Amino acid sequence: MGDREEVPSWRYYYQYMRENTPFVIYYPTCGGGDECISACPYGDKIWETRPMRVKLLGLGKETIRYRPVMVHPELCKRCMLCVQACPTGALSPKEKEPRHHWLRLLIEALRLPFKKRYGIRYVFRKEHRERFVRNNWPKARHN
């Protein structure tokens, strides 16, 4: 799926998540570090990263980036580790979706230094830094 025209907007996957899983992801505030996937005990069985057209945290132009999509929600145990690990608040249970996503991003960013399990050290782990680069600049993904 390399052609820009074939790659759906983030809105498509936002709706997919809303209709098919217990969660929503507001992709414009997702950083693409895949912290949710690595926190999930069934990470690669439940999640995939898919290409979609989206900005990076509202910056730059909308272009093709990879973002987490729950492809096997039936395997989810509702443990909420993925939600706890999300550093931006982009991922939330459907019934608790924030009304103001950018405010939520700000609050989560301020909380990050005080989070024990999924704080700054977790977010800046080597694997998340690498995934951040690969997911946001997908040409690097194929090198």
For residues 65-98, b (16+ Cβ closer than 10 Å) or e, as one string?
A: bbbbbbeeeeebeeeebbbebbbbbbbbeeeebb
Which one of 8-16, 26-34, 39-47, 125-133 is the stretch in contact with ligand SF4 (CB under 6 A)? Answer: 39-47
Nearer to ligand SF4, 81 or 106 (CB): 81
Is the CB of residue 49 less than 8 Å from the CB of residue 96? no
Q: Which range in 11-19, 41-49, 51-59, 135-143 contacts ligand SF4 by CB under 6 A?
A: 41-49
34 closest CA partner among 15, 49, 12, 55:
49
Site for ligand SF4 in 60-119 (CB under 6 A): 76-82
Judged by CB under 6 A, the stretch of 3-11, 25-33, 40-48, 107-115 that binds ligand SF4 is 40-48
Single out the segment in contact with ligand SF4 by CB under 6 A; choices: 10-18, 33-41, 98-106, 123-131: 33-41
Which residue number, 44 or 130, has a Cβ lying nearer to ligand SF4?
44
Length of the chain: 143
Give the Cα separation of 143 and 134 in Å (integer). 10
Residue 87 Cβ vs ligand SF4, minimum distance, rounded to whole Å = 15
Would you tell me how many other CB atoms lie within 10 Å of the CB of residue 3? 7
Determine, following the binding rule CB under 6 A, whether residue 123 of this chain makes contact with ligand SF4: no
First to last CA, the chain: 16
Per CB under 6 A, residues contacting ligand SF4 are 39-42, 46, 76-82
